[in-house]
Amino acid sequence: MNLTMSSCFEELQCGRETNARLGRVRTVHGTFDTPAFLPVGTQGSVKTLSPRELEEAGTEAILSNAYHLYVRPGTSVIEQAGGLHRFISWKRPILTDSGGYQVFSLSKLREVSDEGVSFNSYFDGQKIFLSPERVVEIQEALGSDIAMVFDECPPPNRDREGVRQAVDRTILWAKRSKVVRKREDQLLFGIVQGGRFFDLRKESLERTIEIGFDGYALGGVSVGEAHDEIATVVRTMGPQFPRDHVRYLMGVGTPKDLFMGVEAGFDFFDCVNPTRYARTGTAFTSQGRLVIRNGKYATDQKPVDEACDCYACSNFSRSYIRHLINCNEILGHRLLSYHNVYFFLSLMRKMRDAIQQGTFLTLKKEFESSYDDNLR
């Protein structure tokens, strides 16, 4: 299947009062509706959940990390299995992140140059060199539906000159990535950097569009900066992205942030929050975040979220799940992970319905009036 920039995304409806829109992304492993949330399966697994459970929860696409899969088990193992989809038994779309975030997060273990990045592997300490060409090669070997170019993600406190250097390097790598791509059945997305400097953000977007990609992502957001800065970047940049292409907001994923991103015109999102919070005994609910492991829920026979109809909420009490979590029983983490993923996916379905009905701002107002960000 030969996908082109003009055929991989279709805008179905644009909101009347905001930039929120309905769309559809086409890949060789099926389509998915937007706005969408992609659960994160860094190592090829959304932690504690099986592919069947993800499908039952309504997952349309997932994210994996090319860098981590390259380190373990290695692309040769996955190629021998017939590609990432067969290796992990997932039949729907997969987006692979390039590993650019590791340039940021593993700052003590790497050296960056225009040629690429030298890493000391987090796993065994061995030296690894990743160039933009090698990252494309890895993702093509994995066979993901959407591949991301290699980018440099500057820390939020980087000065202007440092951010300028990261923008220029990301553009250089993007050009080299596009030159070496071979698979016509894999979409390739460019990434916009620029930190807190909006003129650099705009320049990065314009130069990335000039290269030409199947979709465009806003990177370097939610990497340690204040929430107000995140909101300003998202709201300013969203409407400037090409309307006829997919707009991907990387790594932003609290419920309120999802509303913010959708309102700004972004189409899909990813974040580890649903499963990461679950492993600490915390649930996302329609009323806010609940720390189920706390003593106040020891005899609470209500479901995790009385407004939720997921498997966990339909069958188990807060009291029981708290017991499991505090005994370190794996089932507790699994039930909370299932609920949290279901909650995020259900929230996106509600947003899509509201955009279609012209009531997105009403839904956002109602949600924010009842959702408490404070842990309870």
The residues near 365 (Cβ < 8 Å, ≥ 6 apart) are none
Cα–Cα distance measured from residue 72 to residue 95, given in angstroms and rounded to the nearest whole number: 18
What is the tens place of the pLDDT at every residue in 106-130? 666 678 999 999 877 777 878 889 9
Q: Which helix (H) or strand (E) holds 120?
A: strand 116-120
What is the tens place of the pLDDT at every residue in 46-98? 999 999 999 999 999 999 999 999 999 999 999 999 999 999 999 999 999 99
Same domain assignment for residues 260 and 341: no
Take residue 159 and report the two structure tokens written for it: 């000065």
Same domain assignment for residues 208 and 357: no
Active site residues: 97, 270
**Residue ranges making up the domain that contains 203:** 9-271
Q: Distance between terminal CA atoms of the chain?
A: 49
CATH code, domain with 104: 3.20.20.105
Identity of the amino acid at 269: F
Same domain assignment for residues 171 and 250: yes
Question: Residue 332 falls within a domain, yes or no?
Answer: yes
Residue recorded with tokens 């592919």: 51
Same domain assignment for residues 101 and 76: yes
In this structure, are residues 6 and 68 in contact, taking their beta carbons and an 8 Å threshold? Answer: no
The residues near 227 (Cβ < 8 Å, ≥ 6 apart) are none
DSSP state of 307: T
Take residue 284 and report the two structure tokens written for it: 């996302």
What is the tens place of the pLDDT at every residue in 225-252? 889 999 999 999 999 999 999 999 999 8
What is the tens place of the pLDDT at every residue in 349-373? 999 999 999 999 999 999 999 999 8
Question: Residue 217 falls within a domain, yes or no?
Answer: yes
Cα 142–40–279 angle (5° rounding)? 135
Q: For the chain, how many structural domains are there in total?
A: 2
